[in-house]
Structure 1
Amino acid sequence: MTSRVESTVGATRGSDYAVLCRKIKDAGLLKRRPGYYTAKIIANTVLLLAGFVAFALLGRSWYQLLVAAFLAFVFTQIAFVGHDAGHRQIAGSRRVNDLLGVLHGNLLIGLSFGWWVSKHNRHHANPNHEGRDPDLGGGSVLALTASQGESRRGLTGRVLARAQAFLFFPLLLLEGLHLHAASVRALMGGPARRSRAVEALLLGGHVVGYLTVLFVVLSPLQAVAFILVHQCLFGLYMGCSFAPNHKGMPIITDESKLDFLRRQVLTSRNIRGGWFTDFALGGLNYQIEHHLFPSMPRPSLRRAQRFVRDHCRLHDLPYLESTLVGSYTQVLRHLHTVAAPLRTADAE
């Protein structure tokens, strides 16, 4: 299998980060939580089966679009477990995490686990680092940095960039389809890996089964509508869960001289909220803690927050928290600001 998103505990012994690591370890927050993840996987399985039962009972009906919306929610919850498996949060065994990852990613929701882990490894190592963080890739429709905004060429690219703050949420509707397409491309033309054949088989099984069931049970028009509703809402939910984490936060360049602690804290944003926020965002609302301790099990992130917040205060590090709505406001404001030079140039 591909390499995992590894924890960096102990990587900077004697540093400010190492001091925090010792506190986190002593509190037992890095210990695996098999009971939690067993319950989470069972709950997701029950929800998925409930969706299948509803689909079977409704048959050829336009009410199936409600099932499509429900399954978009379930698929995202499944994706969160795949994310945790990629970080080795679930089990101490790499093989078990890999198995859970490909089952949740490739088989259940049709995304390549190996491709995602490789991409996510690079993101965690270089969050918001222009030129190194794949989530800031220049191939994005959105201009996420000032240099990307200034480099937009062609009428379509410039028009999209100028209006990107208004187009952000509509574009997220396409995120699910983009992830599926990127997964297929990675498995067809990516570097050779031992797991690629297994991943391709599982992902292919998902696609064939998904399309076969839809077009056998539903009319062609209903099947297409189901796919659009399901995949667009899946992409929207996924995008809305990940977007608040780093967008609008400081951009790092090669000239930036930051240690691991500061690189992770300064580029991440937490979302305030209670248990429902934790559930809805899959623990990604504790983005600062997650980036500092990638292998920390999801239910331990809330408890770690007190240690991290106090440590940041001790070292005069800004610890940014926002409401969910407030985070989207910051993201949209950032996108609007990045595109300002284009609007100015086109107005002249």
Structure 2
Amino acid sequence: MKFEEKFEGTGSLVEKCQPYLDQIHQANGKPVANGKAEAYVRQEVNGKSNVFNKSLNTYTWEEIQRHNQEADQWLVIDRKVYNVTDWADKHPGGHRVLNHYAGEDATDAFRAMHLDLDIVKLYLKPLLIGELAPEEPSQERNKSPQLVADFQELHRTLKAMNMFSANMGFFFIHLAQILILEVLAWLILLHFGNGWTVTIFISFLLTVSQAQSSFLQHDVGHLSMFKKSKWNHLMQKFVMCHLKGLSANWWNYRHFQHHVKPNIYPKDPDIDVGPLFLLGDSQPVKYGKKKIKYIDYEKQHLYFYMVGLPLLMPIYFNLQSMQVMYLRKYWVDIAWVSSFYIRYFITFGPFYGIFGTVLLIFFVKFLESPWIGYVTQMSHIPMKMSGEENRDWLSTQVLATCNIEQSFFNDWFTGHLNFQIEHHLFPTMPRHNYHKVSPLVKSLCAKHGLQYVSKPMLKAFGDIVRALKKSAALWMDAYYE
């Protein structure tokens, strides 16, 4: 597959999907005429249409599980069966997210990833082809009905507690922090000039600003701040593209895949980092048995420090974002990202010149990179990695993530991603509520025998290296046997 085929646009769901509402299809394949498709779909949802009053086809799990290919994708939500094959390419979250759940029950993933279910459900009705047969369980037989029911009850409880409602003041304070750091760096440079000491100090301020922008963008990207998606869409462009200089569409598509199938090969792009690194238990053995040695993987924990941490942001993410924007023709993102560089050249160009400003941008991203690298990897690399095992949502997320102990500094330093378990279970929950729901999640895990892992931050940093060493040892055993 060509690189450019791997990424899809995301952005605002309403903006992206509106063109398709005008010619949305009924179950019998006949398009709706006269441009009133949205009203038609709402009519269907309200039960005013005769199309779905007829008896639905019924299917067994065995039949549904056969439709798990890219060219033939069925999935189940609340016991209803949907054929999403043709819709996948229009899906604002990217076609791969749907494909990752083809042939499976996607109920909890669907609820977790969408903030406004009323809007999203408008697009489900035309895709409806049937329902589970009455004798079939609501989930696949390998899943625990009680565990799934308990998690869904917890989700309903948290909604009743308004845990998915954002405190706008909290997020605007964080935005103000970022903007103040940016302005302060410019004022110091304006007052003291561009000496080495001043340059190092303003680089530090800009690094903090960039890291905190990453965390704020992460919040906005999960639609946790604004109920009106057009405002969220605009805010994400501002934070991700203008403040950070990266494509919002690229990040969304990549990150949503990570959330729906974390630490699962080959569905999670965050762990598909071969041939540079071999992660988990299975990938190193696979490479070893095939006698693959692109790099001396025995030393991968060392070049994680030398290459992985410092070059994640300035090289890997930066170049990938630019390549995807160009190949996928994300013109809006290109315009917004251009504003990031224009702002830097206007602000710092008079002091450092064009080449010096480019070096400043690279240096700031170089300093930010270990910060973001540690925060994003410490909760995943040491945890379970596997192929597709079709687990329930709770087990999938808890086995692949761990928490870092709470403190004021840890919360700020990680952008509250020290609560990765809660974040993965409830991606649209604003981060200031994670600590409130943590005891309930921990209790549910204990009830069902799932290990709820929480550790000190420094131990979590060290566990990354220990996990890389363990994977390297597995590769060596298989390679030299």
Q: TM-score of the superposition, structure 2-length normalised?
A: 0.66
Structure 2 counterpart of 1:103, from 230, 238, 249: 238
> CA, structure 1 residues 36+220, in 2 after alignment: closer, same or farther (shift >3 Å)?
closer
Shift of 1:250: 0.6
CA–CA distance in 2 between the matches of 1:344 and 1:258?
A: 30
Q: For residue 429 of structure 2, what is the aligned residue in structure 1?
A: 296
- Which residue identity does 1:43 align to in structure 2? Q
Contact 1:86/1:101 (8 A) holds in 2: yes
Q: For residue 46 of structure 2, what is the aligned residue in structure 1?
A: none
Q: Does residue 93 of the first structure (1) align with residue 231 of the second (2)?
A: no
> CA, structure 1 residues 205+225, in 2 after alignment: closer, same or farther (shift >3 Å)?
closer
Give the structure, 1 or 2, with the largest relative contact order (CA under 8 Å, sep 6 or more).
1
Structure 1 counterpart of 2:217, from 79, 82, 91: 82
CA–CA distance in 1 between the matches of 2:359 and 2:325?
A: 27
CA–CA distance in 2 between the matches of 1:39 and 1:227?
A: 25
Contact 2:182/2:205 (8 A) holds in 1: no
- Which residue identity does 1:173 align to in structure 2? P
Deviates more, 1:201-210 or 1:175-184: 201-210
Q: For residue 410 of structure 2, what is the aligned residue in structure 1?
A: 277
CA–CA distance in 2 between the matches of 1:234 and 1:93?
A: 31
Q: Does residue 185 of the first structure (1) align with residue 323 of the second (2)?
A: yes
Q: For residue 250 of structure 1, what is the aligned residue in structure 2?
A: 384
CA–CA distance in 1 between the matches of 2:479 and 2:448?
A: 44
Shift of 1:40: 1.8
Structure 2 counterpart of 1:169, from 293, 296, 305: 305
Contact 2:224/2:428 (8 A) holds in 1: yes
- Which residue identity does 1:233 align to in structure 2? L
CA–CA distance in 1 between the matches of 2:419 and 2:275?
A: 25
> CA, structure 1 residues 7+102, in 2 after alignment: closer, same or farther (shift >3 Å)?
farther
CA–CA distance in 2 between the matches of 1:337 and 1:98?
A: 41
> CA, structure 1 residues 308+56, in 2 after alignment: closer, same or farther (shift >3 Å)?
same
Q: For residue 59 of structure 1, what is the aligned residue in structure 2?
A: 193
> CA, structure 1 residues 346+261, in 2 after alignment: closer, same or farther (shift >3 Å)?
closer
Shift of 1:56: 2.5
Aligned-residue RMSD, C-alpha:
2.6
Q: For residue 265 of structure 2, what is the aligned residue in structure 1?
A: 130
Shift of 1:236: 1.2
The unaligned stretches of length 5 or more in structure 2 are 1-9, 12-91, 98-108, 118-137, 140-144
Contact 1:106/1:112 (8 A) holds in 2: yes
Shift of 1:277: 0.7
Q: For residue 37 of structure 1, what is the aligned residue in structure 2?
A: 171
Deviates more, 1:111-120 or 1:337-346: 337-346
Q: For residue 29 of structure 2, what is the aligned residue in structure 1?
A: none
Once the two structures are superposed, the pairs formed by residues 16-35 of structure 1 within 5 Å of their partners are: 16-35=150-169
Structure 2 counterpart of 1:8, from 76, 94, 111: 111
Matched residue of 1:279: which SS? helix
Structure 1 counterpart of 2:207, from 72, 80, 83: 72
Q: How many residues align?
A: 341
CA–CA distance in 1 between the matches of 2:480 and 2:192?
A: 54
Q: TM-score of the superposition, structure 1-length normalised?
A: 0.89
CA–CA distance in 2 between the matches of 1:221 and 1:205?
A: 17
- Which residue identity does 1:109 align to in structure 2? K
Shift of 1:7: 6.6
Matched residue of 1:339: which SS? helix
Matched residue of 1:296: which SS? coil
Q: For residue 445 of structure 2, what is the aligned residue in structure 1?
A: 312
Structure 2 counterpart of 1:234, from 351, 368, 384: 368
Q: State the Cα deviation string for residues 70-122 of structure 1 (Å, max 9, x = none).
A: 21111110111111001011111111111111101111110111110110110
CA–CA distance in 2 between the matches of 1:139 and 1:215?
A: 38
CA–CA distance in 1 between the matches of 2:358 and 2:336?
A: 23
Shift of 1:244: 1.1
> CA, structure 1 residues 113+220, in 2 after alignment: closer, same or farther (shift >3 Å)?
closer
CA–CA distance in 2 between the matches of 1:7 and 1:301?
A: 20
Contact 1:138/1:148 (8 A) holds in 2: no
CA–CA distance in 2 between the matches of 1:277 and 1:331?
A: 17
CA–CA distance in 2 between the matches of 1:138 and 1:168?
A: 12
Q: State the Cα deviation string for residues 266-293 of structure 1 (Å, max 9, x = none).
A: 1111000212111110011100000010
CA–CA distance in 1 between the matches of 2:416 and 2:394?
A: 20
Deviates more, 1:289-298 or 1:89-98: 89-98
CA–CA distance in 2 between the matches of 1:110 and 1:316?
A: 43
Q: Does residue 337 of the first structure (1) align with residue 337 of the second (2)?
A: no
Q: State the Cα deviation string for residues 176-226 of structure 1 (Å, max 9, x = none).
A: 112111110110002x5xxx2111011122224435654541268855653
Shift of 1:53: 1.5
Contact 2:282/2:386 (8 A) holds in 1: no
CA–CA distance in 2 between the matches of 1:60 and 1:212?
A: 15
Contact 1:60/1:219 (8 A) holds in 2: no
> CA, structure 1 residues 270+162, in 2 after alignment: closer, same or farther (shift >3 Å)?
same
CA–CA distance in 2 between the matches of 1:19 and 1:281?
A: 29
> CA, structure 1 residues 221+347, in 2 after alignment: closer, same or farther (shift >3 Å)?
farther
Q: For residue 74 of structure 2, what is the aligned residue in structure 1?
A: none
CA–CA distance in 1 between the matches of 2:183 and 2:453?
A: 39
Larger Rg belongs to: 2
Q: Does residue 205 of the first structure (1) align with residue 308 of the second (2)?
A: no
